[in-house]
Homo-oligomer: A and B are copies of this chain.
Amino acid sequence: MTLANLTQMEILALDGEVNVSDGHARQSLTDGQQRVVDRFPELFSMAARMSFSELERAAQRSFLDVLGQRRAPVDDGRVMSAYSSSVAMAVLARCLSESLSTVALVHPTFDNIPDILRSQSLDVVPVDEQDLVRGELGAAADAQPECVFITTPNNPTGVVIDAGALERIAGWTRDNGALLALDTSFRGFDRRAQYDAYELLDGVGAEYVIIEDTGKLWPMSELKLGFLAHSARCRLALEEAMSDILLSVSPFVLAVVHELAADAAAGGFDQLHALIARNRAVLTEAIDGARAGTVVDGGRVSVARVALQEGTSAQAAWAELRRNGVDALPCGPFHWANTDDGDRFLRIALARDEPLLQRAAEIIATTLATAPAAALQAGDVDSVAAGRRAS
């Protein structure tokens, strides 16, 4: 079997014994979340009685408010709802391809973003994440990109583009007639990313599109929404392209998101942040303690990166970990323009219950510390993975 991308590795892991592969929320429900689930029949009935547009705006408003995005243009009808952030991304990519040809994309980032952009025949050039942190495009500016696409907080690095840097980048796009696109799916994990991006970008006068996402935050069995918001002046035919894919999202899911946003505001996000911080500490203690690698510091999102020892291939380590019952992700494919650059990092998902994370961390530490050196060097990894699967 061939694994073409990171998501196919994540699919392999869905029924895995210890799955710290995908970045979806898989921890147990909090009491507050359980109370929302207990009310599902009531929320279903309530959603059926409400005006759809009122329900949609209420859900968007409460979700974006709790993330600090109070100037998001909900009441102006410039926030569209989709089944997921990736559906919003696919709609955006189609619209980009109808209007322009070159996109500068943050490097590294999750590989489905360059894959979706390229599937629409767009030229995608990398912008180094560290250039963006300084508010610059670096060498990517030479390609005269007509769109700059940034994931912030980024996946897998957790790097946040702060307000000052975003303002400089937005100024560049404005001055160069380019569109600024942000994917802020991990915003909910990091308060440093919760300054009001809409207020900032409207102040700069930038033409922009922002993808927001409820899907990474709550362990809601993939009941989620993606939002696609845009500036008042926007060259893209987003509404038309979205209407080719969907008439509306689920009123029931809108009602659920509305309730979860209220719970998040009433302490739910604090609980979430505490869980992720605890799990990051658990991982760090196990990995760094065993001198099996180093957990990279600084991120607050629901994934962590382990920097491997010199000479270790993450792709090989991934296969070796699968043999030991743990699914993680090798970071090569995140470095979509130069996969070798990422092969010294593993990505570990943290949105799990602490005991599972503890177990994963121990197996990872032991595997990395004790596996024969040859097993951790690059090889024919796909067939190795398939071998375990068939056994």
Which residues of A pack against B, CB within 8 Å?
4-5, 7-8, 10-11, 14-15, 22, 24, 37-38, 40-41, 44-45, 47-48, 51-53, 83-84, 86-87, 90, 94, 98, 112, 115-116, 119, 121, 220-223, 237, 239-241, 243-253
Contact = CB atoms under 8 A, between A and B. Distances in A.
A240 B9 CA distance: 11
A223 B255 CA distance: 13
Nearest to A245: B86
Contact of A252 (B84, B86, B221): B221
Contact of A51 (B10, B11, B15): B15
A209 B240 CA distance: 26
Contact of A223 (B241, B244, B250): B250
A5 B245 contact: no
B240 A223 contact: no
Contacts of A245: 84, 86-87, 90, 112, 116
B247 A5 contact: no
B41 A41 contact: yes
Q: How many copies does the complex hold?
A: 2
B48 A251 contact: no
A249 B247 CA distance: 19
13 contacts: A4-B240, A15-B51, A40-B41, A44-B221, A47-B221, A48-B221, A112-B245, A116-B245, A221-B250, A221-B252, A222-B251, A222-B253, A223-B250
Main secondary structure of the interface of A (DSSP, over half): helix
A86 B221 contact: no
Nearest to A121: B121
Contact of A119 (B44, B51, B112, B244): B244
A213 to B, nearest CB: 13
Given A51-B15, A252-B221, A252-B223, A244 B44 contact: no
Contacts of A52: 14-15
B5 A116 contact: no
B14 A248 contact: yes
Contacts of A22: 247
B243 A4 contact: yes
B244 A116 contact: yes
Contacts of A223: 250, 252-253
A296 B41 CA distance: 39
The residue among A45, A222, A251 with the most chain B CB atoms within 10 A of its own CB is: A222
A43 to B, nearest CB: 9
A253 to B, nearest CB: 8
Given A40-B40, A51-B15, A53-B15, A5 B240 contact: yes
A249 to B, nearest CB: 6
A47 B40 CA distance: 15
Nearest 10 pairs of A and B residues by beta carbon? A222-B250, A221-B252, A40-B40, A7-B243, A83-B83, A4-B240, A14-B52, A112-B244, A86-B245, A115-B244
Contacts of A247: 7, 10-11, 14, 22, 24
Contact of A84 (B237, B243, B246): B246
Contacts of A240: 4-5, 8
B37 A44 contact: yes
A128 to B, nearest CB: 24
A379 to B, nearest CB: 23
A115 B244 CA distance: 7
